[in-house]
Amino acid sequence: MNTQFKKGVLELIVLISISNKDMYGYELVLEVSKIVDVNEGTIYPLLKRLTNEKYAETYLVESTEGPSRKYYKITKLGIDRMNELESIWFNFSKAVNDFIMEVKK
Amino acid sequence: MNKNEFLNELRKRLKLLDNGEIDDIISEYSVTIDEKIKNGKTEIEAVKDFGDIDELAKEILSAYKINPDYKEKNSNSDIDNIINRINEIIKDLSRKVVDIGNKFLNKMKIESNNDKDTTTIILELLFKVIIVLFIITILRLPFVIISSIGSALLGVGNFSFSKFTVLTFSILMEFIYIIACIYFGSLIINKFIFTSPKRNTPTGEPSDNNKDTVFKYKEDVNNKSNEVNNMIVAEEKKDKKNKDIVTIRESNYSNLKNNSGCSSIIMILLKLFVILVFIVPLIALIVISSIFLIFFFLLTISGIPVIGACIALIGGIILTASLINIFISIISEKTNLKITPIIVSIVLILVGITVSVNNIFKIEYISDPYKDNINLKSSEYIFEVNDETDINVGSSDYTKKIDNTITDNKVYITVLYSDYIISNVEVVKMVDYIDFKYSIQKENDFMYFKNIINKIKDDLKNNKIYDYDKLRNIHIKIKANEETLDKISIVRNIQYRDI
């Protein structure tokens, strides 16, 4: 899949994922790669950006089996952003689907 | 690439960011790599998954809205590299000092566990007092430098300023010094002395300052559409997490305070050192140069060809400003340097010097202003003398002249002086000696200064310059016939001559 295209959707997927439950970085990588084939290098910068833009906040939790993990938690602002992206996505995909259907007919 | 290589490379590429942020990012990647290795990947594979490291670094930087190409554009400049190196040295140095300091503090902590609280407190207090004393000493430096520059500059003309002016100036300097001490002292006390007790007794309240380590936990169930059972499990989990988090936060908080408190103190000290030793004197230099520039500019307008000095001074001011810029960029750890002003200023200085040298060669230096007899006042006195008479010339220069047309026992004394500098010349005949009394004009500092400037200006218009120091003394011409001249003796009495 086109990388630019993927990046755009990635933000939405990550926001939805952490709105469901707080997750740490690698957990998110695994979760997201279930849906899209993504280079995990792009996920961390995205998480960084989301925290910088206050869509998500972080906290540390000590893990019994290694170093402490940084968990990502969605903020109210992040939920607004998620809803916005969601509606954009639905409108966009609907428009594209409609177009394809119409032409293919 | 293995894990360490990868992390080091990444750190290098993220240099633009704040140190704390870099550490944060690096630790995140480090944790992830460990996690992957645990899940059965090799180290190399785990690193490979991140893809091209340059691309990754660009992505991270763009998450901070930093233009990722910024570094590459500027990396050609040598000065940038030098500044980066200086920055690294300063950081390394501070890190090392912090390490030593931490070891020291840890040692003390271990001791304090063995019921030695009071000694620890005393030691810590001593340590802080030493730091404060050190700061006060450092703060003294720029004032010493400025005053020595100032006195050197003022000393050129050998102008004597009234005690009042000097006193006012020194009081002003002391005042600035004390204010600087209070300002920086409070800065350091705030950063260091008042934060350190928290290290031993972390409070339970979360602090908003430490973004990542501080836990901002807010119950927010509304956004979740889980089933009730799940919710209960989640709540339990949260509670457990909460406890864990609080303890982690406390330990992290104390560590953070310990480290960043100390390192920021040392960074402040180093920056303070740079500010005081380089920037403050340079700013003073700019101020002084500007005053001189105005002065030379006025001279140029009034017809004395010192345009070369003006050009050189402008160049000097630009150069000083760019030096200040360099030091400021070292302090703020930014590298926005332009080499053009430095080149321009050097060119200006060279041109200015060439022009001035050309002018200076035209000027004739006359070491004895009394030989070149212009603009000097003279007053003549005639005295009767005998064998006993001494002429007390003090420290002034004198010339003897034989004139046999003068009758015996008569002496003609001519006193030459510059009325710009000397007033009230008086020649007094006592029983057995002749004394000279005069005073240097300084009723009004400004007028005195202005007079001298005018004198120099007039002389320079004639392409002549004198040893003006000599004008602070009178010149005595003694004229008599041969016999009388043999009779009298001339003595040098080093007395204070001012009336």
- DSSP per-residue string spanning B248-288: HHHHHHHHHHHHHHHHHHHHHHHHHHHIIIIIHHHHHHHHH
Q: Which among B31, B63, B241 has CB closest to A67?
A: B31
Residue B496 is predicted with a pLDDT of 45
B380, B413 contact by CB (below 8 A):
yes
What single-letter amino acid sits at B214? V
* Crossing angle for the helix pair A76-104 and A3-20, to the nearest 10 degrees: 130
B294 and B320 in a common domain: yes
In what order do the strands lie in the sheet containing A69-74?
A23-24, A69-74, A56-61
DSSP E strands: which ranges in B342-432? 364-366, 377-384, 390-392, 397-402, 410-417, 422-429
CATH number at residue A22: 1.10.10.10
If one counts the domains in chain B, the total is 3
Domain identity same for B267 and B122: yes
Residue B204 covered by a domain: yes
How many structural domains comprise chain A? Answer: 1
Nearest-Å Rg of the Cα atoms of chain B is 38
CA gap A60, B247 in Å, rounded: 11
Per the domain annotation, does B442 fall within a domain?
yes
Q: Find the domain containing B384 and state its range.
A: 377-491
Structure tokens at B160: 């004597």
Q: Does residue B56 lie within any of the structural domains? A: yes
Closest residue in B to A21 (Cα–Cα)? B224
Q: Has residue B337 been placed in a domain?
A: no
For residue A99, pLDDT over 70 is answered with: yes
Structure tokens at B309: 């000095």
Above 90 in pLDDT, residue A61?
A: no
Same domain, yes or no, for B188 and B58? Answer: no
Residue B204: predicted pLDDT: 41
Give the residue from B272, B296, B331 where a domain finishes. Answer: B331
For residues B422 and B323, state if they share a domain: no
Query: Taking CB atoms and an 8 Å cutoff, what residues of chain A touch B246?
Result: none
User: Would you call A41 and B56 a contact, using CB atoms and an 8 Å cutoff?
Assistant: yes
Name residues whose C-beta falls within 8 Å of residue B386's C-beta, 6 or more positions apart in sequence: B409, B487
Is B217 touching A (CB cutoff 8 A)?
yes
- Cα B146 from Cα B251, distance rounded (Å): 47
- CA of residue B199 relative to chain centroid, distance: 35
Pairing between strand B464-466 and B390-392? unpaired
Q: Does B208 touch chain A (CB under 8 A)?
A: no
Q: So what's the pLDDT on residue A100?
A: 93
Question: What is the C-alpha end-to-end distance of chain A, expressed in Å?
Answer: 25
Q: Are residues B109 and B235 in the same domain?
A: yes
**Given this model, what pLDDT does residue B258 score?**
44
If asked whether residues B177 and B231 sit together in one domain, one would say yes
Q: Verify whether the Cβ–Cβ distance B244 to A20 is below 8 Å.
A: no
Task: Tell me the pLDDT of chain B (499 aa) as tens digits.
Answer: 788 888 888 888 888 888 888 888 888 888 888 888 888 888 888 888 788 888 888 878 877 777 766 654 444 456 566 666 766 776 777 777 777 777 776 765 555 555 455 666 676 667 767 777 777 777 777 777 777 766 666 655 445 555 666 777 777 777 777 777 777 777 666 655 554 444 443 444 444 443 333 333 333 333 334 444 444 444 445 454 444 444 444 444 444 444 445 556 666 777 777 777 777 888 888 888 888 888 888 878 877 777 888 888 888 888 888 888 877 777 776 666 677 888 888 888 888 888 888 777 777 777 777 776 666 788 888 888 877 778 887 778 888 888 888 888 888 888 888 777 777 788 888 777 788 888 777 666 677 777 777 777 777 777 777 777 777 788 888 888 888 888 887 877 655 444 4
Q: Choose the mutation target among B3, B16, B32, B242 for the interface with A, i.e. most A CBs under 10 Å.
A: B32
More confident residue, A89 or B181: A89
The domain containing residue A45 runs over which residues? 3-104
Same domain as B58, residue B85: no
Q: Quote the pLDDT of residue A78.
A: 92
Q: Is residue B359 part of a domain?
A: no
CB contact under 8 A, A48 and B213: no
The interface residues of chain B toward chain A in range 48-107, judged by CB-CB distance below 8 A, are: 49-52, 55-56, 59-60, 62-64
B81 plus B118 within the same structural domain: yes
Query: Does residue B338 sit within a domain?
Result: no
In this structure, are B390 and B318 located in the same domain? no
**Among the three residues B49, B76, B103, which one is the final residue of a domain in this structure?**
B76
Q: What is the reported pLDDT for A83?
A: 92
Q: Which of B12, B46, B76 is the last residue of a domain?
A: B76
